Amino acid sequence: MAFAEDVNGAERHYVSDSSESSPYKYCIPPNEQERARLDLQSEMINLTFENKLIWAPITLEKGAIVVDSGTGSGHWLFKSLAKEVPSTVTLRGIDISPRMFPLPETIPDNTSFISLSVTSLPEDWTNTVTLIHQRLLMAALQAYQWKTAISEMYRVLEPGGWVQLFEPKDWFVTPCEAITHHKIRRTRDKLIADLRHVTVNVIEYLQNWLKEAGFVNLTAQKREMPTGSWAGERGTLSMNATLGAFEAMKPLVIKEGGFGIVSTEEEYDAVLADLRRLCDDTPDTYFQYWVFTAQKPLP
C-alpha cells in the first residue's frame, strides 16, 4: 500500500511493508517520531564510542564501498560518515523498510538508500564491498537469520574487507535489583523473545557466528553509556532514547493483552515512568554496548 507523509513541508513517499506474514516486520513503528529517536540514539552511541565511526582497521579510499545495514533513518551513514570520507567513496544504506530514509533530494550523488534485507543481499554485490556497518539488530533477527545475515555479509565483502557490528547487552547494567527485574524488561522479552523468537542476548554469540562464517582477525570492545539523570544531560538523553523505544512498543504490547504484566495503556505508561524514576535515582546505571569487528580473509 502506497501513501505519503508531510515532513517539514516536503512529501515523503512510502510503500507499506507491514505485512503480518513478514518475518522481518518492525516491532517499533517506522514513523517520524521513531526517526527522531533513532537520530538521538545514533548520536548517543557515537558519543559513547568517542565519535569514532570506523572501528575496523581500514582506510576508505577512492572506489571503496560502504554498506550501512539496518540503516533506519540513515543517521550514521548520511549525517555522520558522509562528512568524514571523500565523495569518491560509495555509501549504501539498506533497511527492510524505506519509511525513514532521507528525502531523495537531500541525498548526495555518492549515497543511496535501498529497501532490502541483510539476509538476502544482491548477487551482483559479491566480493565488492569494502566495509559493512551494522547497529542494533538485536531485536530484529532470530538466531538462524543472524547466521544467514553474517553469511551474506561475508559473501558480498571483498577479500580483505571488514564488518563492524554494534550491539548492546540486552538490559541495563545496574546495582538496582528493581531495574534488573523490571516489568518493562519482562514485557519486552515477551514481545520480542517469546513471541517473535529473536535473540536478545546476541552479544554472547556474535564472535562464534563470525568465526563459523569464515571471518578472521576478530575483535570485541566494550563501552558503557550512562543512563538516567544522575549522569547529567548525557544520561537524560540516553534515558529518553531508551524509553522512546519502549514507548513505541506499547501498542503491540497492549494488542497482545499485556502478557499478564500490564492491562492498559495507562498502566504501561506508569510502569515506564517508574523505570525512568529508578534509573534517574540509581548512579552507575548503564547500557553496555559492544563493537565486534572481523575481516574476510585475503586469498
Query: Residue 289 maps to which CATH number?
Result: 3.40.50.150
Q: Which segments of the chain have a pLDDT < 50?
A: 1-24
Cell digits of residue 279: 534509573
| Phi and psi, residue 294, nearest 5° | -160, 150
Number of domains in the chain: 1
Amino acid at 196: R
pLDDT of residue 197: 87
Strand-pair category, 65-69 with 90-95: parallel
Rg value, the chain, Cα: 19
pLDDT of residue 226: 97
Strand-pair category, 10-15 with 111-115: unpaired
Domain assignment of residue 52, given as a range: 2-295
pLDDT of residue 22: 41
pLDDT of residue 194: 85
Provide the 8-state DSSP code for 9. T
pLDDT of residue 29: 63
pLDDT of residue 37: 85
Each residue's pLDDT tens digit, 256-272: 999 999 999 999 999 99
Each residue's pLDDT tens digit, 191-233: 988 888 888 899 999 999 999 999 999 999 999 999 999 999 9
H-helix or E-strand spanning residue 283: none
| Phi and psi, residue 21, nearest 5° | -90, -5
- CB-CB contact of 299 with 230 (8 Å): no
